[in-house]
Structure 1
Amino acid sequence: MKKFGVLLFAFLGLVSCSDDDDANVDPPFEGQTEEYDLGAVGESGVSGTATFDENEDGSVTITLDLEGTTEGAMHPAHIHYNSAAEGGDIAISLEPVDGDTGISETTVSMLDDEETSISFEDLIDFDGYINVHASADDLETLVAQTDIGGNVLTGESQSYDLAEVDVEGVSGTATFYERENGETLVELALDGTTEGNTHPAHIHMGAVADAPGDIAITLTSVDGASGMSLTNVASTDGTEDEEGTSVSYEDLIGFDGYINVHASADDLDTLAAQGDIGANATEE
């Protein structure tokens, strides 16, 4: 019995040590992941995802996984500053997408300036967007694009009708989309515009019935070929002496204003389309 008791004590001691050892072992690292949809630009037919994976050393692995890429081609890719609607300089150069596989994988811990570190948390709040280009010799042509970080849309939106005014057949909608950072993507979509024309557009103060009102926010001119305009709105227009006032999505959908779309830069007196927005819009 003595011998059995000694063996039992030793066994229990081993179990106890094993339990203590297990308690001191750190759990395996489980990094965070964020995924963004990359949409096709124009008629490229290229789309897919951009996945950000947090690594244990603090770096981030960015994987682009695209369909519709060109076999034998290499598609340069970059993270840019600002939203896609605004455009901006390159912040981070990514590995080109291999046209054969549609894959690009880049591990980053710094911006291209080689001075500014970038973490997973920084990237998912980043004021940026991703461009994927046709080729190194044709960077002007984009095949896929997406906003990232704070510029991602929340899913909240509000649309307003833009009615025909002085230019026959031109009408459409203005849609305000909320971003994660509280800013707004303003999309004008018009029917009846013609290729070769550009139509200046503005948000004015007051209602259509009280027009003319002062310009509050200058929007990107509507392209006549596509009938489209995209503008990122974060503030009202400033002046030479004063910066504009910060304006959020919530501010805009309650704004006392209206939108004018003009015939051309040379003919601002002729209105192509117009509509009340915010507090002045008619509830349907």
Structure 2
Amino acid sequence: MKKQYFLLIAIFSLLISGCGKDDATEVILAKNVFALSPVSNSNISGNVSFVKYEDGRTEVILQISNSSKDIHPAYIYTNSLEEGGAVALTLEPIECDCEESITVVSKLDNGTPITYEQLISFNGHLKIHQNADNLEVVIAQGNIGVNAQ
């Protein structure tokens, strides 16, 4: 009886493991990475990656280190850090412990379509904020696109 029970569990386990999505088949066509620097002695640094996949999808991947347990909102703004500008694109917030967020991007917040090629040459900058209640506190930032050169 025990053998049959273990055999059933083994077969069930194989069936379940075979049903998952195989992420290894995703093909990256292009990737561009921009550095993010700490602000106001936050000691939080990281990078933002723009990734173009074979299926046409563009992802913005934020990765930071040394962050707090807050949920950190992040935005791409127009113009350089020095000039400042309006929010052009709202990104997925960085959740607590994982220190990463992924946003699939096809258009700006105003509805204007944007491609990978336009994103990597965008006249903009990125800011990561302390939390939704303290948007005036920036913990990491960096120029992107034409401003990062």
Question: Normalising by structure 2, what TM-score?
Answer: 0.79
SS in 1 for 2:97: coil
Partner of 1:69: 67
Counterpart pick for 2:99 among 99, 102, 119: 102
Q: Highest CA radius of gyration, 1 or 2?
A: 1
Whole-angstrom distance in 2 between the partners of 1:29 and 1:64? 19
Match runs of 1:31-42 below 5 Å: 31-42=29-40
Relative contact order, higher structure (CA 8 A, sep 6+)? 2
Amino acid at match of 1:67: S
Amino acid at match of 2:66: G
Change (3 A) 1:70 1:33: same
- Can you give the 5+ residue segments of structure 1 that lack an aligned partner in the other structure? 1-27, 154-284
Whole-angstrom distance in 2 between the partners of 1:59 and 1:129? 21
Question: Normalising by structure 1, what TM-score?
Answer: 0.42
Counterpart pick for 2:76 among 74, 79, 96: 79
Higher helix share: 2
Q: Please say if residues 82 and 129 of structure 1, whose CA atoms lie closer than 8 Å, have aligned partners that are also in contact.
A: yes
Match runs of 1:111-130 below 5 Å: 111-114=108-111, 116-130=112-126
Match runs of 1:2-81 below 5 Å: 29-71=27-69, 73-81=70-78
Task: Give, in angstroms, the shift of residue 57 of structure 1.
Answer: 3.8
Higher strand share: 1
Percent same amino acid among aligned pairs?
38
**Consecutive aligned runs of 4 or more in structure 1 exceeding 6 Å deviation:** none
Whole-angstrom distance in 2 between the partners of 1:51 and 1:64? 7
Task: Give, in angstroms, the shift of residue 48 of structure 1.
Answer: 0.7
Whole-angstrom distance in 1 between the partners of 2:130 and 2:106? 26
Partner of 2:86: 89
Pairs aligned (count): 124
Whole-angstrom distance in 2 between the partners of 1:29 and 1:103? 21
The CA RMSD measured in Å over matched residues stands at 1.3
Change (3 A) 1:70 1:124: same
Amino acid at match of 1:137: D
Q: Please say if residues 58 and 109 of structure 1, whose CA atoms lie closer than 8 Å, have aligned partners that are also in contact.
A: no
Whole-angstrom distance in 2 between the partners of 1:64 and 1:29? 19
